[in-house]
Amino acid sequence: MKTIILPLIVLAAAILPSKANEPAKKAPNQPKGNVTFEYRFDDDLQQTADSIARQELWFRDAKFGAFIHFGAYSTLEGEYEGRGNGFRYSEWIQISAQMSSDEYHKVAAKFNPVEFDADEWAKTFKDCGIRYVVITSKHHDGFALFDSMVSDYNIVDYTPFKRDIIKELSEACHKQGMKFGVYYSHAQDWDEPDAPYLNKRCKLSILHPEMPDDFEPDMDRYIMKKSLPQVEELMKNYEIDLIWFDTPVGMNMERATLFSDMVRKYRPDCLINSRLIHRGKGKIEKQYLPLYDYVSIGDKEVPTKKLPLYVESPDSVSSSFGYKTKGNCYYHTEKEMIHRFVNTVCAGGNALINNGPMGNGRLDPEAVRIYSAMGEWLKVNGESIYGTVRNPLDERPEWGDISARKDGKTVYLHIFEWPESGSISVNGLPAEVASAVYLATGEKAGFSQEGSFLKIILPAQPLNEYDTVIKVSLAGSEVSTELAEKAWAKLAGKSVARPEFKFVENKPALPNVLIYGDSISIHYTQRVREKLNGHADVYRLYCNGGDSSSLIPKMTKMHDAMRDENLDAPWTFQWEVIQFNVGLHDLKYLSGKKLDKENGKQVSSLEVYQTNLRDIVAYLKKLAPDAKLIFATTTPVPEGADGRFAGDSVKYNKAALEVLRDYPEIRINDLYGMTKPHQPEWWVQPGNVHYNETGSNAQGDEVVRVIRTVLLEKK
């Protein structure tokens, strides 16, 4: 057994009740009768500002997640020695088959998913339109899919596989630009006699026949021994964007706070779900809202109404969550799955749709087929899902559902059932309709409107067998580009007259590229725009980039100035690529505001520069979570340059690369190495840090090459 983290136990013991078995405040209970959404969600519920901020970093726009139930149970496929196949969830086989801990350990010891390929999984999910992935790091069986120092009952120490699935999949998902989360069963653990459990199909004496008859379980002892230390390991050792707790039997405010505080300590932006303290169909209680960020509703539950809190539905492509072939099991049709997905999004939530991989490590082919059908639908209709908000009207229409853009100027009509009447109607629109277009073809839909009542005439047949989407633009949504140009001119000031800083009108069909950098990048900006014309909209900061401490305030100023809702149409900030370059202004020596190598002080020491760079990376990841980041190294400084020493650029580039080794997903554009051999021919003049037209064009061509490579990789 590996060493338990003792300091953590001592620290948390001071927070828990002084007597191990002393009753704590009552936990929120599952209502036995009324489980309607009206009962469970009071209208005045409101999430904390911190939780909303964490959601808005990426979660609210993501909409589509892949849930993965994978573990030793996957090899049994829902049955053990002819037992247990009557229960719908195969991951509960230890309980449904009444297996002792020793019996289940023998199954776990043989778990060897040799065909597991994290990169293949991640690419499959990404190709299907999935934006985040959540996998079982430890399910109720107590077996962990990560290398734990707390307990050797894990895939690395206990099985012939010897690999850390959580680490591999986390890295693969982030490489694909997806967010990554872990499911962790914090209360139930059938391998631990001290842990409580919900299902009465199996007695403790069957799970642990070795325990004496007078054994008294101590939940707090279990929390301190295993559960809380393993959550600490996950937060410290892995890049986790979301943690999904489950079945909070026995949890109360004191215990739940321990877990919430542990997550916040190491990963302040990591999302926490409500099953930390509330069961899936339990009533949401106000006092627990600060402990978590969003609500996980019941298993395979689709909201029937708009809800006051942001929710996520833990759905599944099949009736089980773990892989199941034994006993009763069914898969949803593609149509069912798309309708469940769309209804969840239109009610104001995300759909976390589960697949159970096979015991050999391969994804379930039927799950992949269903995901792929959803992905094909999203390729055409994705704008009606990603980044949208819930149905703005009072009711869900009988023919389907409605989603909307955040600015309130566009609604999307999702037609599930094609009416025999040949038309659909919408009542309650807040403005006159300017246009209606079928997303499947781009063709206009015929309509008539009287007041807030809209009638759309439909073709004889649906344009999509699952969900035909009509994009309805309301009057006033075609915003004049002139407003955005004026806002940009005010922001850029006198520099707006230079071609490098001119306003760029957004072309929605093209990816958006942002260049942030010093005056070197200013000189090659136009070259980049020319080369990428028709392939990408290329923007750059409204002024010279400055030293590393100025990136965040300057970027924030630009975004604040250009985020007026009236400017969303001509100017968008859905960045595909951000190339940033800092360093040249950090290695300057100044006395006051004057360049002075003899008596001046360097703008940023190497240590400060590295700290600033880490802050920049964190900021950009929050600002544009789906963007590919490119860091451009600082170009060489010549002998005799005013305020700079020639060798400093090498030192600062080395310091930058030391930091960026922690972020392998960031592409390095080595402009220093590319420029260095051509110093004599490319510098404007000896001692000047800038480059002539030949040099600037060559640098621009290199920037274009790297950006094009990245854009191709993102397709």
pLDDT digits (tens, 9 = 90+) for 192-222: 999 998 877 799 999 999 999 999 999 999 9
Strand order in the sheet with 388-389: 388-389, 400-405, 410-415, 468-474, 433-438
The per-residue pLDDT for 573 is 63
- Residue 201: both structure tokens together: 């199909």
pTM of the model: 0.69
Burial (CB < 10 A; 0-12, 13-18, 19+), residue 21, is exposed
Taking the domain 49-389, which CATH number applies?
3.20.20.80
pLDDT of residue 476: 62
Nearest-angstrom CA–CA distance, 144 and 158? 10
pLDDT tops 60 at residue 567: no
Residue 20 has pLDDT above 60, yes or no: no
Non-local (6+) Cβ contacts of 439 within 8 A are 380, 381, 383, 384, 412, 469, 470, 471
Q: What is the pLDDT of residue 407?
A: 74
Please, where in the chain does CATH 3.40.50.1110 lie?
481-712
Asked if the model's pLDDT at residue 23 lies above 50, the reply is no
Looking at per-residue confidence, does 344 or 429 come out higher?
Answer: 344
Q: Which of 313-322, 429-438, 533-542 has the highest mean pLDDT?
A: 313-322
pLDDT greater at residue 306 or residue 179: 179
The residue ranges of DSSP E strands in 475-622, in sequence order, are 512-516, 537-540, 575-580, 589-591, 594-595, 601-602
Q: How confident is the model at residue 330 (pLDDT cuts 50, 70, 90)?
A: very high
Rounded-to-10 torsion of CA 254, 256, 260, 262 = 70
pLDDT at 686: 80
The answer on pLDDT for 477 being more than 50 is: no
Confidence of residue 554 (pLDDT cuts 50, 70, 90): very high
Compute the average pLDDT of residues 166-190: 97
Tell me the pLDDT tens digit for each residue of 147-160: 999 999 999 999 99
Q: Helices marked H in 321-400 — which ranges?
A: 334-347, 365-381
Mean pLDDT of all residues in 364-391: 96
Asked which of 7-21, 463-477, 581-595 is least confident by mean pLDDT, the reply is: 7-21
Q: List, for residues 46-64, the tens digit of each pLDDT value.
A: 889 889 989 988 999 999 9
Write down the pLDDT at residue 486: 81
pLDDT at 571: 59
Give the architecture (CATH level 2) of 481-712.
3-Layer(aba) Sandwich (3.40)
CATH of domain 400-474: 2.60.40.1180
Residue 15 has pLDDT above 70, yes or no: no
Give the helix/strand (H/E) hosting 127.
helix 118-127
Percent of the chain with pLDDT over 90: 77
- pLDDT tens, 79-97? 999 999 999 999 999 999 9
Q: Please count the other Cβ atoms lying within 10 Å of the Cβ belonging to residue 714.
A: 15
Quick one: average pLDDT of 176-205? 93
In terms of C-beta density within 10 A (0-12 exposed, 13-18 middle, 19 or more buried), how is residue 214 classed? exposed
Q: Residue 199, Cα to own-chain centre: how many angstroms?
A: 32
Question: What would the pLDDT profile of 119-141 be if each residue is shown by its tens digit?
Answer: 999 999 999 999 999 999 999 99
Distance, CA of 569 to CA of 476 (rounded, Å): 11
pLDDT score at 523? 94
pLDDT, the chain, mean: 91
Give the mean model confidence (pLDDT) for residues 423-437. Answer: 92
Give the residue range(s) of CATH 2.60.40.1180 domains in the chain: 400-474
| Mean pLDDT in residue range 645-658 | 95
Task: Considering only residues 673 and 486, tell me which one the structure prediction assigns the higher pLDDT.
Answer: 673
Mean pLDDT of 303-314: 94
Strands 400-405 and 410-415: antiparallel
Q: Which ranges in the chain are annotated with CATH 3.20.20.80? A: 49-389
Per the structure block, which two tokens stand in for 265? Answer: 């300590």
